[in-house]
Chain A
Amino acid sequence: MTRFALAIPRCVALVALSVAGFAYGHVLVVAATLVVTYPLAVSGQYRLTALARRLARAWAGAVLPDPVRSLPPTPHRREDGWYAHDDTVFRSPRVPAFLLKLDHYAKDPTVGREWLWLILTPVIGAVPILVPPALIAAGVFLLASPPWPLAWSVPAAGGAVVAAFLLAPGALRAYGLWAGVLLGTGEPPQTAVSRWVTRTSAATWRGAGLAGLTLAGFGGLLLNLLAAALSWGGLLPYTLPVTRSLVELYRRHVGRWTGTDLPAPYRPYPPAPSPGKDGSYRVGRVLYTDLPAAVQGQRPGWLLGDPATWRDQLWSLGSVALAPLSFVPAVLVGLGFYGLFCQPLTWVGWAVPIGLFTGYWVTPFYLWFGIEHIQPDASWLPGWASMTAGLAMALLGLGLASPLMRLRLWWDRLLLTPTAATVLASRVAHLATTRADAVDVQATELRRIERDLHDGAQARLIAVGLGLAAVARLMETDPVRARRVLEQAQETSAAALAELRDLVRGIHPPVLAERGLGDAIRAIALDTPLPVDVDVDLPGRLDAPVESAAYFVTCEALTNAARCASHISISLSHRDGVLRVVVTDDGPGGADPTRGTGLRGIQRRLATFDGTMTPHSPPGGPTVVTMEIPCASSSPRTSTS
């Protein structure tokens, strides 16, 4: 009985909550537009939906676990007292904290679904729970000012109230089901249609966003033109970097939003000039007396002589023509959404008056506008024309989005990526650096081996020889002493052997030659005084130099990890022509690749093979170091596992 009695006020409370949620949904849109207020608004949304979940669980029997929500990460204070975010440092932690929050909320998939829930509940989920209160209201109205004779009104009112009580629990259950659709943790089912809509709507908004960025690029172009005109080009070295950073921003967003990689085509800053015989530095036709000024003096030549600079300008100019096209899908989808949902919703507000006065009934604003100016007599248009037209426009917009995005990417690739010549030039520069590094490493290594042999095994063998000579002399005169010297010689030769063994291990570990990379790593893992899991998935032996480099970088990473971890796992795999070594440890994390010579040494060793190392070490761990070397696997499997 109480269940039925309580159901009505609960319905009323939930209707009120959904109206509040609808209003807050609009507040969120405004907050997102203002950007700065967005994190605050989202935390409000969290609180509102937490309340909605609690009520739906308690009153409507919905099975709704609270989503697991982590706090946004806090900015990490560097050693120099600044705070880093991406590749920029800030003096105060507030800006990076804000950017981290934005990233965090943008990555939370529940935020979008909850917003949809707030907006859609009044038109879908709240409809059943609106019925019982409406019936009660109708009953009260019938009793307060009966339109019919009392003999009819009283039974009608009574019937309405009874119906309200009977319907209310069912209505609450229906509401609970609706709450489960968008507030639940399960992902909505994926169909071909929903995937198409997801893909194309992403293309729509991202296309518009990219078009907005190209307009900023055009602003940069205008600034350059102004600078060129006002100063005869003198200010260009200072305005060109503005365009460059805007275009770089665009490149990054294209990479993030479309997955298309647009590598930066710019030439690296030239190396510092070397002084001439008179101690001055010559840059072009100018002589500088001190080095910093000379380095600065290279700037105009570096910027103006780079073809990529001028290709950027050309791209900005062409993008202006492309921008309006890119906005078309977004405008179409926006108007379509308006015609499909908002117009029917608001028809009571102003579409009815328009209909009353014009006879066009529920036609969307844009349709009405068109009819007014082109086809004055359109009273034949039915009310549902709005929704049909809205749907058609939205679909047309979504359909156009992908081809237009392809057009945009074609244009970007044409001018924003490095030309074949630039690619070759940067490749040559890279090879020159890594070759210098390799030669350096090799020379150091040879010097070390030479020193070790000279001071170690060689010296000991001399001692053995001297000992034996002494024995030959003492054999007859003093056999006791001869025996002692002989034992000494034996010990020295054993020590020489042990030293040679260590040296060989440092040059090329024997187990690597005998068994290949997988077993060599297993062997070193067994010798580590920590539990180390090794997972090997290699098709066979790799090229010897690659094996050797991979072995030594893995040992280095293992040594680094063993310093502060209690458990380490290493995985080796070879896929798509890339050898991948992943070293994971449970240490405290926070490793900085720019610090410490260990990781830099790994990078230098890998660079010779065009390999890369990516450490990932959030504060609190775990630290994951991924090393990749492109290489082919040669002989068939010889490993015993």
Chain B
Amino acid sequence: MRVVLAEDLHILRDGLVLLLESHGFTIAEAVGDGPALRAALARHRPDVAIVDVRLPPTFTDEGLQAALAARRDVPGLPVLVLSQHVEQLYARELLADGAGAVGYLLKDRVLNADQFIDAVRRVASGGTAMDPEVIAKLLTAGGTASPLARLTPRERDVLELMAQGRSNAAISQRLFLSESAVGKHTASIFDKLRLPPSSDDNRRVLAVLTYLNNT
């Protein structure tokens, strides 16, 4: 699997290259600034791009803008965005095109290598990987009047993991539930939030995220 990596701090970039290569990824190019990232994305058309939000030369949201621009050119180009902080604002912008294959994680998540690699693979295969911190903020924004308040605590846990982009199997492992119980919870969630039921992981997550986005 070919990866384009953009990260301006050498130490982190080398660390990520090492980590990805040890898990069988091919690094097509590892760049350190915005213009180089744009060029690399156009040249390699990678299977997945891993991009830091803040890059030289402006040190603003250069990386995010380059990723969004590349996705406008190649719809559905898998992009995993890394950042020192997470903002709902950015998450909404990444999800806005509804094409899936996006990830948005705190850089801290790299520390847990297995989960990070899992997220990269999920994004590369067209799924989503949202940082738990973003999801938690999305879930609290509704207030007591929102339909979210009608969910049971267990259903909320399931919804949170589902919104991060996890499959029923992964959720059942995480929550120590049988897969059929998770299936029951998700059906109930879809019912309470009046969402069309779906078994496709990606469509399911997008439905949930669109719902959360609009509340």
- Chain A residues numbered 531-576 whose CB sits less than 8 Å from any CB in chain B: 531
Do the beta carbons of A514 and B93 come within 8 Å of each other? no
Q: How many A-B residue contacts, CB cutoff 8 Å?
A: 53
Of the candidates B59, B107, B140, the one whose C-beta lies within 8 Å of that of A513 is B59
Q: Which residues of A (25-72) have their CB < 8 Å from a CB of B? A: none
Q: Which of B84-133 contact A (CB under 8 A)?
A: 84-85, 87-89, 92-93, 107-108, 111-112
Compute how far the CA of A514 lies from the CA of B84 in the bound complex, rounded to whole angstroms.
Answer: 12
Q: Is the CB of B60 within 8 A of A493?
A: no
Most buried by B among A510, A519, A530: A510
Asked if A74 is an interface residue, CB under 8 A from chain B, the answer is no
A523–B83 Cα gap in the complex (Å)? 15
> B153 interface residue, CB < 8 Å from A?
no
* A511 and B141 within 8 A (CB): no
How many residues in A have their beta carbons less than 8 Å from beta carbons of B? 24
Contact B89 A519 (CB under 8 A): yes
B88 in contact with A514 (CB, 8 Å): no
Query: For the complex, would chain A's binding face be called helix, strand, loop or mixed by DSSP majority?
Result: helix
Report B141-181 CB contacts with A as 1/0, cut-off 8 Å.
Answer: 10100000000000000000000000000000000000000
A529 touches B143 (CB 8 A): yes
Count of interface residues, chain B, beta-carbon cutoff 8 Å: 22
Which residues of chain B are within 8 angstroms of A530 by Cβ–Cβ distance? 143
* A637, chain B: closest CB distance, angstroms: 13
B-chain residues with CB within 8 Å of residue A640 when the two chains form the complex: 93
Q: Give me 16 other A-B pairs in contact (C-beta within 8 A), A494-B108, A515-B60 excluded.
A: A490-B112, A497-B107, A497-B108, A504-B85, A511-B85, A511-B89, A515-B61, A523-B88, A523-B89, A526-B87, A526-B89, A527-B88, A527-B141, A528-B141, A529-B143, A640-B93
The SS class assigned to the B binding surface is: mixed
Q: Once bound together, how far apart are the Cα atoms of A215 and B115, in whole Å?
A: 85
CB-defined A-B contacts under 8 Å, sample of 15: A490-B111, A490-B112, A494-B108, A497-B107, A505-B85, A510-B84, A510-B85, A513-B54, A514-B54, A514-B61, A515-B61, A526-B87, A526-B89, A526-B92, A528-B141
Q: A199 contacts the other chain (Cβ, under 8 Å)?
A: no
Is B137 an interface residue, CB under 8 A from the partner? yes
Shortest distance between the CB of A299 and any CB in chain B (Å): 57
Tell me the complex Cα distance, A522–B54, Å. 19
The answer, yes or no, to whether B31 is at the interface (CB within 8 Å) is: no
**Contact A494 to B54, CB < 8 A, known contacts A504-B84, A511-B87, A519-B89:** no
Residues of B within 8 Å of A638, CB to CB, are 60
6 closest pairs, A vs B, by CB?
A514-B61, A526-B88, A523-B89, A514-B60, A523-B87, A510-B85
**CB-CB nearest in chain A for B62:** A514
| Chain B nearest Cβ from A528, distance in angstroms | 8
Q: How far is the CB of B53 from chain A (nearest CB, A)?
A: 7
B129 to chain A, nearest CB (A): 18
Cα A638 to Cα B64 with chains together (Å): 14
Contact between chains at B60 and A513 (CB < 8 Å) = yes
Instruction: Pick from A498, A501, A529: contact of B140, CB below 8 A.
Output: A529
Q: What is the minimal beta-carbon distance from B111 to any residue of chain A, in angstroms?
A: 6
Q: Are A527 and B108 in contact (CB under 8 A)?
A: no
Task: Give the Cβ gap from B100 to chain A, nearest Cβ, in Å.
Answer: 21
Are the C-beta atoms of A501 and B61 separated by less than 8 Å?
Answer: no
- Measured CB to CB, the nearest residue on chain B to A531 is B143
Residues of chain A contacted by B84 (CB below 8 angstroms) = 501, 504, 510
- Taking the closest CB of chain B, its distance from the CB of A306, in whole angstroms, is 52
Task: Give the chain A neighbours of B107 by CB distance below 8 A.
Answer: 497
Query: In the complex, A36→B137 CA distance in Å?
Result: 60
Chain A residues closer than 8 Å to B93, beta-carbon distance: 640
